[in-house]
Structure 1
Amino acid sequence: MINNISLAFVVLIASTQAYAVESLISLESHYSAKETADRFESIIKDKGFTVFARIDHQKNAAGVDLTLRPTEVIIFGNPKIGTQLMLCNQMAAIDLPQKVLISEDADNKVWLSYNNPQYIKQRHSITGCDKVIDKISGVLNTLSVAATAQ
């Protein structure tokens, strides 16, 4: 009986992991953190997105006598896309507007990261809106690759 319970537990854990989605997508950048952030901001503005804020956490840390590797968050959006996601499930608004994190790790590698739209879909139990999720995924990927690739 213990073997059957153990087996059932392993199957349950394995099946749960099969449906788990990574919450963040990260791309390594070929540029410094500042240049990556500048490139991303320029690209999204050129594409008609609104930049709501650009937060320089490194600068804010220095303001309170703390040291932090380069870390910036850009908050941006486009109501034509974001509203479609909220129409699928209004609770998705907690994850909007979109954000990207540009950070430098301990190995001096620069990363651009963003919330995986598939994770947002799973988090809010969104059904019947795969076209919207796929569109958002494609747009975020295209913007991020443009900002990080040589």
Structure 2
Amino acid sequence: MIIKRLAIIFFIFVHLPVSADSGLVQIQSPHSVPDTVEKLKQVLDEKGMTLFAHVPHSQSANEVGISLRPTELLIFGNPKVGSILMECQQTTAIDLPQKALVMQNSDNEVWVIYNDPAYIADRHHIEGKVAKCDATLEKVSKALNAIVTSAVNRK
């Protein structure tokens, strides 16, 4: 199980401009925050994912007099997949549905950040429970990678 997770992590690091820290996968976008969010929404729609919410954090902060660099959150998922993870370990529901944070940092770089499924597995002690759990985690990891990569690479 650990070897499978390491293989997934290796795949992500070899194929993408990614950094990971504290269970987060970060992929840089060449687009603005609003453009990246729209591209993510398009990909999610094309993949048949459910978009549960779009939280415009910087807009909300501005409305209460707080200046925040562009920061938006998309909450999305596929109940057919997420429910399997909850069946594997019910506490994963605290981390589901999936979230993608799109933000501009202090260097004016735009990043898409999401929770690493391996982190979720470790956090909720999913390893070795049932083979379908590991297969589902691998599927989620590949799907998140594909969604974000497709969005940031769109023209």
TM-score range, shorter chain: 0.7 to 0.9
Report the equivalent of 1:50: 50
Report the equivalent of 2:113: 113
- SS of the aligned residue for 1:145 comes to helix
* Deviation of 1:22 (Å): 3.9
1:26-47 deviations in whole A, cap 9, x for unaligned? 0000100110011001110121
Q: Which protein is bigger by CA-based radius of gyration? A: 1
Separation in 1, partners of 2:153, 2:43: 13
Q: 2:135 aligns with which of 131, 139, 149?
A: 131
Report the equivalent of 2:35: 35
Count of residues paired in the alignment = 130
Report the equivalent of 1:16: none
Report the equivalent of 2:144: 140
1:1-29 deviations in whole A, cap 9, x for unaligned? xxxxxxxxxxxxxxxxxxxx841000000
- SS of the aligned residue for 2:150 comes to helix
1:73 aligns with 2:77: no
Q: What TM-score do the two structures reach when normalised by structure 2?
A: 0.81
* Deviation of 1:101 (Å): 0.1
- SS of the aligned residue for 1:31 comes to coil
Separation in 2, partners of 1:127, 1:103: 31
Report the equivalent of 1:3: none
Separation in 2, partners of 1:59, 1:29: 20
Identity %: 43
Contact 1:33–1:71 (Cα < 8 Å) also in 2: yes
Alignment gaps of 5+ in structure 1:
1-20
Contact 1:88–1:127 (Cα < 8 Å) also in 2: no
Could you list the structure 1 runs, at least 4 aligned residues long, displaced by more than 2 angstroms after superposition. Answer: none
